[in-house]
Amino acid sequence: MHFDVFARTEVGCARERNEDAFLVLDLSSGTSGMWPNARVREMAPPGTIVAVCDGMGGAAAGDLASKMALEGLERVVRDRAPLSDVPSTEDVMLEAVRTSNNEISSFAKAHPDKRGMGTTMTAAALFGPDLVIVQVGDSRAYLKRGIVLQQLTMDQNVVGQMIASGRITPDQARNVKQRNMLLEAIGVQPKVGPDLIRVRVQPGDVLLICSDGLTGPLDDRRVLDLMLQYEDPVRCCRALTEAACAAGGPDNVTVAMARFHASPHDPAYDPNTPVNFERRNAVA
């Protein structure tokens, strides 16, 4: 398989600055960022990293925290490349979370005016049909297959815990006032408990990683409708961020998207095949 990728971030309608950040790192070329002539990537080692961070702390430098987390992720992945199998890639992603957590925590301790800074992180490693995703906080990863949008991550916040325990439904969660109260974040505690997700993708699938600036104002049905309407990642990322802003844009909004395509030798695929994935909690 191969895939095309794009990412976009907007400050929204209520915030003065953007504390979100994203990373698209192509380990085969060594380049990071969005390059118009390099949107199409091969689904093979050494791999590509796609990540979104949502900084927290406001005046306590949430924008710096998200930037530092992605810098730590990029540095560790570059040092440990190539990404070639699931177990070793999981180790690399956990090391990146641990490194970012230690660096942000140490920086905050050394700069009292930055105490309380932290960030979410949802990052996917794309090197073969089995993706590895690491998540801390409530930025999300979804996989669209056919006309179904499957949330792969579970929000590490108060509401996510209530949903997991069956106390409320996802629809009810949208009305809970404490829904943004995080249980895990990078840079806040000495140890962090990320979730690791494994999922096998097939041609036609679309991976979406986003901050809660998207999923706050837009429910999953609206997100899916826009993804079905706009297949091209560039147009779809723009449509999603603009829709979040049109719905009030109460927070920064960031989306990153990878659309997977078949190669001539790939077997036939069925868009009705259910999305199978595994999610487990780890310690970094």
Average pLDDT, the chain: 92
> What pLDDT is recorded for position 270?
85
46: closest CA among 34, 29, 22?
Answer: 29
CA distance 148 to 157: 25
Q: Is residue 186 part of a domain?
A: yes
Q: Is residue 147 part of a domain?
A: yes
CA distance 223 to 214: 8
Residue 278 has pLDDT above 90, yes or no: yes
pLDDT, one tens digit per residue, over 92-106 is: 999 999 999 999 999
Eight-state DSSP code of residue 157:
B
Computed on alpha carbons and rounded to an integer, the radius of gyration of the chain in Å comes to 18
Residue 110 has pLDDT above 80, yes or no: yes
CA distance 191 to 207: 28
Q: Is residue 270 part of a domain?
A: no
> What pLDDT is recorded for position 271?
87
Q: Identify the CATH number of the domain in which residue 151 sits.
A: 3.60.40.10
The mean pLDDT of 134-148, rounded to a whole number, is 97
pTM of the predicted structure, to 2 decimals = 0.94
Count up the domains in the chain and report the number: 1
Angstrom CA distances, 26 to 9, 35, 50, 142, 152, stand at 19, 10, 9, 21, 23
Q: Is residue 117 part of a domain?
A: yes
CA distance 100 to 40: 29
Q: Is residue 273 part of a domain?
A: no
Residue 72 has pLDDT above 90, yes or no: yes
Q: Is residue 275 part of a domain?
A: no
The rounded percent of the chain whose pLDDT value lies above 90 is 74
pLDDT, one tens digit per residue, over 176-226 is: 766 678 899 999 999 999 999 999 999 999 999 999 999 999 999 999 999
CA distance 48 to 50: 7
Q: Are 118 and 106 in contact (CB under 8 A)?
A: no
The mean pLDDT of 45-74, rounded to a whole number, is 92
Eight-state DSSP code of residue 181:
-
Higher pLDDT, 5 or 12: 5
Instruction: Determine the straight-line distance between the first and last CA of the chain, rounded to whole angstroms.
Output: 31
Residue 35 has pLDDT above 90, yes or no: no
Q: Is residue 272 part of a domain?
A: no
CA distance 3 to 29: 15
Q: Is residue 154 part of a domain?
A: yes
Structural domain for 129, as ranges = 2-264
> What pLDDT is recorded for position 144?
98
> Tokens 């987390």 label which residue?
69
Q: Are 203 and 262 in contact (CB under 8 A)?
A: yes
